[in-house]
A and B are shown apart, each in its own frame.
Chain A
Amino acid sequence: DAKTTQPPSMDCAEGRAANLPCNHSTISGNEYVYWYRQIHSQGPQYIIHGLKNNETNEMASLIITEDRKSSTLILPHATLRDTAVYYCIVSTNAGKSTFGDGTTLTVKP
């Protein structure tokens, strides 16, 4: 499975965009990029996923580089409730999903 690399922590001001980077330089052609977030005492929550194209939903946008070796999760207007650990993972259609230690995002007032 392809491994991902994320910064251990990031800060963001409330109301500003949060841009969370992820490197996945060994990603295979059939592997998707998924983002989850985990708030204390809860299980991880799915945010968004993509294969090649950029994706947007009601929660966030996902930008994948053309060579697919990295991606960025964008929370357009971060709120205090977006403070969480964010996980970037790659996964095939077989569904095996290996989590790293993620990025702890702290949104500050």
Chain B
Amino acid sequence: EAGVAQSPRYKIIEKRQSVAFWCNPISGHATLYWYQQILGQGPKLLIQFQNNGVVDDSQLPKDRFSAERLKGVDSTLKIQPAKLEDSAVYLCASSDLSGGAAPLHFGNGTRLTVT
């Protein structure tokens, strides 16, 4: 099966600019996650979708971050305006929880550098 696809692979922007990341999950996976991973740390959950509904966005900085999953398939994560501390790898993952517990499948992420 095809894995989780993310683009772009790398992005460099200046502070106060906006940026968007795209994720295409594994076909049939209803659950989609966005994680932020700062260098040297483990991934931090930003938002979890079930189909096109938000399950958990408690750690999403909503004043500057937004995410959507129209039609319950692809998802985009946007940052506007970006700050220096947003420099990180943004990971998308998907999972099929229809049968109960299931692992997360991750993409290779988008590395964002804010200058």
Contacts and interface: CB of A to CB of B under 8 A. Distances in A.
Interface of A: 32, 34, 36, 41-46, 49, 51, 85, 87, 91-102
Contacts of A32: 101
A104 B40 CA distance: 10
B105 interface: yes
B108 interface: yes
A43 B108 contact: yes
B45 A97 contact: yes
Contacts of A85: 42
8 tightest A-B CB contacts, nearest first: A43-B106, A99-B42, A46-B103, A32-B101, A99-B43, A101-B42, A95-B97, A44-B106
A44 B42 CA distance: 10
A93 to B, nearest CB: 5
Contacts of A44: 43, 91, 93, 104, 106
Contact of A101 (B33, B41, B56): B41
Contact of A43 (B55, B56, B102, B109): B109
A96 B97 contact: no
Contacts of B103: 34, 36, 46, 49
Contact of B44 (A49, A94, A99): A99
Contacts of A96: 45, 48, 55-56
Contacts of A41: 108
Given A43-B109, A44-B43, A102-B42, A97 B104 contact: yes
Contacts of B91: 43-44
Contacts of B106: 43-45
Nearest to B107: A43
8 contacts: A32-B101, A42-B108, A44-B91, A44-B93, A44-B104, A44-B106, A95-B33, A95-B97
